[in-house]
Amino acid sequence: MSLSPMRYTATLILFLHAFALPALCAESSAADIESADDLLRLSWEELTELDVSSLSRQTQSVKNSPAAAFVITSEDIRRAGVSSLPEVLRMVPGMNVAKINAWNWAVSARGFNDLYANKLQVMIDGRSIYDPLVSGVYWGQQNPSLQDIERIEVLRGPSGSLWGANAVNGTINIITRSAKDTQGGLLYGGGGTEEQGFGGIRYGGKLSDSTFLRGTVNGIGRDASIDSSGNRGTHDYGDAQNGNLRLDSRLGDHDQLMLEANLSRYRLHGYFIGITSPTPPLWRQ
C-alpha cells in the first residue's frame, strides 16, 4: 500500500519520536542522576566534616561521633531568616517546638513537651541556662545575637553522664563565634507588624597578637500575640535587650582562655493567661 507524501512525512516523524525521545530522556535522566549524585556526595562530605564537641567534650567530626547529632551552622541560621533561638531549633528533626504566645515557647526532644521542659539540657558555650526558679528554660529571656552564633549542636538522646541530670531526652549546646573571628563592626536591624523592631551592633578589636575582644548589644520588641480567633487581647507585648562581652586569648600551643560576661533585660507589659493554641499534645502546662 502506497502512502501519500503527507502521510509518509507524518509516519516518519512519529517513528523518529518513538526512538529519539526515549534516548534523549535517558540521556537527560542520566545527566540528572549524575548531577544529583554529585550534590548528594558533596553534601554528605560537608555534613560529616562538621565539628561537634558536645558528644565527648572534645572537638571531633560528626562521622566520628559516638551518637547521633545534628548541627546547625551560622550559614543555616542566616538563610533561615529567623530572629529567635526557638525558631532556629525548628530546623532540627525530632525537636518539638511550639509557640505559646509572643514570648513563651515549649521546646523539647523526644516528646514530653512542656512550657518549662526539665528533661532537656540547654547550654550557651557550655554554660547551662536552666532556671531553677521555673524548673526549666525560660526561652523568652534567651535573646542572644544570632549573628554571634557559630553553630548549634543538638543531641537527641540521653547524655546525662556528660551534661548532668537534665540531659534525659537531649542536649542543646549553642556555641558562639570567637572574638578573633568577629573583628570589625556590624550593624543590623529590622521591623514588622509582629516583631515591631529588632537590631544590634557588634564590634571586635585586637588587644595583642593573641588576645581579641568583642562586644555586642542587641534588642527586640514584640507586639501582643493573636489567639486562634484572631483577637489581639492577651497583652503579652514586651521588649528585651541583651549585652555580651567576650575575650579570647591564646596562652600557648594547646591552651586557650575565654572570658565572657552577659547582661540581659526582659520586660513584659502584661501576663498571658488564656491559652487557646497550641493544644495538647504539642504542649502542656
Q: Which of 62, 195, 169 is nearest to 113 (CA)?
A: 169
Q: How far apart are CA 19 and CA 257, in angstroms?
A: 70
Tally of structural domains, the chain: 1
pLDDT band, very low/low/confident/very high, at 238 (cuts 50, 70, 90)? confident
Average pLDDT of every residue of the chain: 76
pLDDT digits (tens, 9 = 90+) for 91-149: 998 888 988 888 888 898 877 787 887 888 899 988 888 888 878 888 888 888 999 99
Flag whether 15 is in a domain: no
For residue 38, tell me if it sits in a domain. Answer: no
The answer to whether residue 160 sits within a structural domain is: yes
Whole-prediction pTM? 0.70
Res 272: pLDDT = 44
Letter for the amino acid at 216?
A: T
CATH code, 206: 2.170.130.10
* 97-109 residue pLDDT tens: 988 888 888 898 8
pLDDT of residue 234: 60
CA distance 52 to 220: 30
Which structural domain, as residue segments, surrounds residue 238?
50-268
Q: What confidence tens digit (pLDDT) does each residue in 7-19 have?
A: 545 554 555 444 4
Residue 24 lies in a domain: no
